Amino acid sequence: MNMSKIGHRLLGLAVAGVAMAAGGSAFAELGQPKPWEMTLQESATPVMDNIVWFHNFLLILITVITLFVLVLLVMVVVKFNAKSNPVPSKTTHNTLIEVAWTLIPVLILVGVAVPSFRLLFLQLDLPKADLTVKVTGKQWYWSYSYPDNGKFEFDSLLVQDKKPRLLGVDNEMVVPVNKVIRVQTTGADVIHAFAVPAFGIKIDSIPGRLNETWFKATKTGMYYGQCSELCGKDHAFMPIAVRVVSDQEFATWVETAKKKFATNPGNTFASAGATAQ
């Protein structure tokens, strides 16, 4: 089999692999991981759209580079071994090749850096928010407050028998669809990390410091995440559940939450524990 056929077959396998990896996300359940999933979760925000595009772009780029290097190595092994080439060339310099192997990698890195910096600025440049939610990480649950919608706060704890497993909670964070949500997060005890893969957000919750991130969910539904910083023995049991609803449903939920989670200390898990002691 000649080198051309080998190269064509390798390229075909690579293209098929990339297509399968890119297409796999279409079968993932919205807002949560899927068994044996090998791709990113389906996007639900503009930031995550950009992350998915950048991931796929880099996957294709690195596949092409790897195959190119593999073809060169095979050519060297086949054409320039002692049997096929008993009298080797004594060439030590080639100006064109030396310029090419310097210039082409630089151009590749620039091509990677431009969308990388654009994505970084998109993540860090917070637009004007329609709603602010303060998220406090605690051992080992989350507390949510809505400073724009009244003085109420509630805790969100894992419910063992609720689906999906290890992700279901008693009280979800609720936000309206197609609105810019500013998330302000801090830690009450140790460092935690607030992360929701479908939104493309992950930010540390650090005691004594207020960090900010944002998202704009474009699809209604339930979205799940988990604490992504080792924070103690129950780190694995600290899920995040975000319910994205319509504006009308959100307004109704706010009125209900004001009554259910009014500034009564007994509404929080921590306060209930202190009272019990």
DSSP 260: H
Name which of 243, 88, 229, 123 is nearest 176 in CA terms.
243
Which of the listed CATH numbers 3.80.30.20, 3.40.190.10, 3.40.50.620, 2.60.40.420 matches domain 131-276? Answer: 2.60.40.420
- Cβ distance 177 to 45 under 8 Å? no
Q: The pTM is what?
A: 0.81
92-106 pLDDT, tens digit per residue, is: 888 998 999 999 999
Question: If you search the block for the tokens 């297509």, which residue do you land on?
Answer: 19
pLDDT > 70 in the chain, percent: 84
Domain ranges (residues) in the chain: 3-124, 131-276
CATH number of 3-124: 1.10.287.90
Of 91-100, 121-130, 179-188, 264-273, which gets the smallest average pLDDT? 264-273
- Determine the 3-state secondary structure of 160 from DSSP: coil
Angle between helices 46-79 and 95-124 (to 10 degrees): 160
- Cβ distance 67 to 10 under 8 Å? yes
Q: What is the pLDDT of residue 108?
A: 96
- Residue 144 pLDDT > 80: yes
The pair of structure tokens assigned to 143 is 């507390």
The pair of structure tokens assigned to 103 is 């210039």
Same fold, 3-124 and 131-276: no
179-197 pLDDT, tens digit per residue, is: 999 999 999 999 999 999 9
